[in-house]
Amino acid sequence: MKLSNQTQLSEFLLLGFSEDPAVQHIIFGLFLSMYVICVIGNLLIILAILSDPRLHTPMYFFLSNLSFVDVCFTTTTVPKMLVNIQTQNRAISYEGCLTQMFFFIIFAELDDFLLAVMAYDRFVAICHPLHYMVIMNPRLCVQLVLLCWTISVLLAILHSLLVVRLSFCTHLEIPHFFCELNQVVHKACSDTFLNDLIMYLAAVLLLVGPLTGILYSYSKIASSICAISSKQGKYKSFSTCASHLSAISLFYGTSIGVYLSASAAPSSASTAAASVMYTVVTPMLNPFIYSLRNTDMKRAIKRLTSRASTCKVPY
């Protein structure tokens, strides 16, 4: 019997975390707070970098791009979840699900690639300080960011096209708070071998490629720091990498935790709970990681906030 393609009529149900109204109110308040902090914190980083000429360097150029991606990353998933909780309607249309999945893949991959590019930037700054501005010229910086965007968009298009070819037969429940690629694919009625193969290959390449670059960069950085004779010089060199190392540890630690949780309990709500760490918590914490121990960033933020307060229109 031929399976009819009812993709256009399909509607997905995002099960989220809990059906208990009391728990949903707590989740709504918690996620709304985290989302607001994430957006304000990352926008503040971007505005501080744009407004301060002293921060117009490759390192802060990449940081501003990372902050922009983090805002988009959380905006892809959290607002829809908040609307669903508020309206008590868990449905998301097939088109809406594909769109959310497409942009989620783009910004998740961009986070991964930008962290690798920032590791290369720190490698050049510490291992080749005299040639830093020559190597990390504005043209190369823009090219690296464009390359990250190009690869991310192409991979998202590939995954999306592979999902479009699948058939979905009825209303489908996804035990997550957003349309995650793996969850959507495994709800299809048709054969998903090709999807699984591409997902596996992409996951391996995305993990091995950027992570290898990061590990190589920091192995060279560690060697250069060890060769510095003065303790003050070692501390200064290490402090320029501390924030980035924290962001890398947080991103990869939470991402690996999600996949370990998914492999242990594929259909459990624990996977959705674990996903919160890298989809919401990590983007929310990045502004604090890059500003609390960064003197230049703290000064730029203070100047920005003081300038904003003095520019208020008097009554």
First and final C-alpha spacing in the chain: 74
In 3D space, the residue among 13, 142, 132 whose CA is nearest the CA of residue 81 turns out to be: 13
H-helix or E-strand containing 140? helix 138-164
* CATH fold of 7-310: Rhopdopsin 7-helix transmembrane proteins (1.20.1070)
Over its length of 315 residues, how does the chain's per-residue pLDDT go in tens digits? Answer: 344 444 455 688 888 777 777 788 898 999 999 999 999 999 999 999 998 888 899 999 999 999 999 999 999 999 999 999 888 888 898 899 999 999 999 999 999 999 999 999 999 999 888 999 999 999 999 999 999 999 999 999 999 999 999 888 776 888 888 998 988 898 888 888 999 999 989 888 887 889 899 999 999 988 888 887 777 777 777 777 888 888 888 888 877 777 666 555 555 566 677 788 888 988 998 888 888 767 778 888 888 877 766 765 454
| Domain edges within the chain | 7-310
pLDDT in tens, 94-124: 899 999 999 999 999 999 999 999 999 999 9
- Distance of alpha carbon 161 from the chain centroid: 22
Query: What is d(CA 272, CA 285) in angstroms, rounded to the nearest whole number?
Result: 19
In 3D space, the residue among 42, 231, 242 whose CA is nearest the CA of residue 122 turns out to be: 242
pLDDT in tens, 119-165: 999 999 998 889 999 999 999 999 999 999 999 999 999 999 999 99
Q: Which long-range contacts (CB under 8 A, 24 or more apart) does 206-210 make?
A: 206/109, 206/112, 206/155, 209/116, 210/112, 210/113, 210/115, 210/116
CB 14 within 8 Å of CB 177: yes
- pTM beyond 0.75: the answer is yes
H-helix or E-strand containing 1? none
